[in-house]
Amino acid sequence: MRSDPFLIAALVTTLGALVLIGWFLLRRPAQTRTTKIVLLFGIGVLPLFTAANGNVAGYHATKTRQFCGGCHVMTPYKDDSENPASKGLAARHARNAMFGEENCYACHADYGMFGTVTTKMGGMRHVYEYALHYHQLSLDEALPKIHIRKPFPNATCMRCHSTENPLWNAVGDHASSLQEIRAGTTSCASVGCHGAAHPFSNEIHERQRMTP
Amino acid sequence: MIGWIRRLLASSERLLRVSAVLTIVALGLMVWSMVVPTVWPVMVAMSIGQALGTSAFVLYLVVVARDLRARRREGGE
């Protein structure tokens, strides 16, 4: 079992609530003011703490690669990220401790003031799409149909690779296409530059494109 | 169904018992999502679990509000 402090706190408050509710259900006490106060804790206060801890723990869980790879159509993406031999951008970033277990979220999250909210809304859309359209498909059927919804923004790369570093600018291709990179008109993940984040996926789409 | 709801609402004790059982189910779902933090447990806990927990607390508040009103009425008479 994980030693997550939110989990431990939630288990403690849950246990407390269960003791109080158990006392009410099994002992059947008279409905006095004391009973109501006990139930206020059993039904209201303690479960509220459990829910709050559960929400935070759930929020953290939804950021992990394990969670993203939970749907079968995402398994190859997760496996590619975890593959130490993979040279794709996703795998290379997953090997960086700053991204680690949350590398899917770190790159695919929206940033800005309401970034978390829009990211979670996008995640709900994924769940909806998966439940209605992809759940019943085999991997071979699903993978050619999976596309990133909108072009991957360079701004996400630039959160770490600021384009201001002299070492970065010393690279000829960076210097020559600096404006296009900053404007997002040339993708960092294009084939002539750093290549696809998930190379296997690109190969599938390329094969599909070539098939008459 | 409507008859069952009327009977349920008529008895404060029954309401509290239903509320207590709903809370147990909600707590179970929430703990499940934390012990097994995969897609479906987390989704179920954050939707159905939260809805059940909130409903349970609303039932409890209904009983408390009804008691307060009854007590106020008794005080007025």
Tokens representing A23 are 């006392």
pLDDT in tens, A102-150: 999 999 988 878 888 888 888 888 888 888 889 899 988 888 888 888 8
Residues from chain B that touch A124, judged by Cβ atoms under 8 A, are none
**Nearest CA distance, A101 vs chain B (angstrom):** 14
A126 inside 8 A of chain B by CB: no
pLDDT in tens, B53-76: 999 999 999 999 998 888 888 876
User: Cα–Cα distance between A70 and A163 in angstroms, integer?
Assistant: 35
Q: What is the DSSP letter of A1?
A: -
User: Cα–Cα distance between A93 and A99 in angstroms, integer?
Assistant: 6
* Weakest mean pLDDT among A24-28, A177-181, A198-202: A198-202
Half-sphere exposure of B69 (CA within 13 A, CB side): 6
- Please report, as a single letter, which amino acid is at residue A178: L
B-interface mutation test, from A2, A7, A21, most B Cβ less than 10 A away: A21
Torsion (CA) B6, B12, B13, B14 in degrees, nearest 10: 20
| pLDDT band at residue A2 under the 50/70/90 scheme | low
User: Cα–Cα distance between A199 and A204 in angstroms, integer?
Assistant: 9
A69 inside 8 A of chain B by CB: no
Which candidate, B46, B37, B47, B32, places its Cα nearest to that of A102?
Answer: B37
| pLDDT band at residue B39 under the 50/70/90 scheme | confident
- The answer on pLDDT for A175 being more than 90 is yes
Residues from chain A that touch B24, judged by Cβ atoms under 8 A, are 18, 21
pLDDT in tens, B3-32: 777 777 778 889 999 999 999 999 999 999
Residues from chain B that touch A18, judged by Cβ atoms under 8 A, are 24, 27
Give the per-residue pLDDT at A89. Answer: 92
Give the per-residue pLDDT at A39. Answer: 95
Q: Considering only residues B52 and A117, tell me which one the structure prediction assigns the higher pLDDT.
A: B52
pLDDT in tens, A44-96: 999 999 999 988 888 888 899 998 998 899 999 999 999 999 988 999 999 99
Give the per-residue pLDDT at A200. Answer: 87
Q: ipTM value of the model?
A: 0.87
Residues from chain A that touch B62, judged by Cβ atoms under 8 A, are none
Average pLDDT, chain A: 89
CA A140, A146, A150: angle at the middle one, nearest 5?
A: 165
Say yes or no for a CB contact (<8 Å) between A51 and B35.
Answer: no
Tokens representing A61 are 């869980």
User: Cα–Cα distance between A202 and A180 in angstroms, integer?
Assistant: 23
- Please report, as a single letter, which amino acid is at residue A193: C
Q: Are A193 and A181 in contact (CB under 8 A)?
A: no
Which candidate, A105, A7, A113, places its Cα nearest to that of A54?
Answer: A7
CB count, 10 Å around CB of A126? Answer: 17
Spatial neighbors of A110 by CB under 8 A, at least 6 apart, are A116, A118, A119, A122
Strand blocks (E) in chain A: none
- Among candidates A25, A36, A54 on the partner chain, residue whose Cβ is nearest the Cβ of B34: A54
Say yes or no for a CB contact (<8 Å) between A18 and B27.
Answer: yes
Which candidate, A146, A8, A14, places its Cα nearest to that of A71?
Answer: A146
| pLDDT band at residue B77 under the 50/70/90 scheme | low
- Among candidates B24, B38, B45 on the partner chain, residue whose Cβ is nearest the Cβ of A67: B38
Residues from chain B that touch A21, judged by Cβ atoms under 8 A, are 20, 23-24
